[in-house]
Amino acid sequence: MLIKEKRELATICMKYALSGNFKIASKKRQIAYAKSFVGTIGIDWTNWNEIWDMDNKYLKYLEAENFSDLENSQTYKEAIKAIIFIDYLFGFRDNWSINQCEILKIEQFKCNSLEEFLKKNACVINLYAVYQLI
């Protein structure tokens, strides 16, 4: 499956995930991947039960997170869960899912504990960033 096709499929799955239909998002990916081999080792994309067991385990961990230190609306928090799930489903590591989610463009991320952490550790973070450039 080409990246363009993968992004198109992820766009469809994102709509389901944003409405809380994670199982349907997973199923859409499974059906598409079963038709078009994606180069994964040890995964039988034709076995829906095996795929859902794997995806559901991840979803349970995700649903256990309540983002208690995040001071945003519940809709925003649910959108973050959907984005993380889509990134998991498709293996995205480039913020594509974040850029596709409209609510994240409307409502600003608000987390005082993170802001405090960044203020207290700005020197360390800056040193780490410089180290990464070396």
For residues 110 and 71, the answer to whether their CB atoms sit within 8 Å is yes
- Residue whose structure tokens are 């993968």: 6
Q: Residue 56 pLDDT more than 80?
A: yes
Higher pLDDT, 119 or 57: 57
Whole-structure pTM value = 0.82
For residues 32 and 1, the answer to whether their CB atoms sit within 8 Å is yes
**Residue 113 to residue 76: CA distance in whole angstroms:** 17
Q: Residue 55 pLDDT more than 50?
A: yes
Q: What is the mean pLDDT of residues 1-13?
A: 90
pLDDT at 116: 81
pLDDT-derived band at 134 (thresholds 50, 70, 90) equals: very low
Higher pLDDT, 71 or 133: 71
**pLDDT, tens digit (0-9, with 9 covering 90-100), for 64-117:** 988 888 899 999 999 999 999 999 999 888 888 888 888 888 888 888 887 887
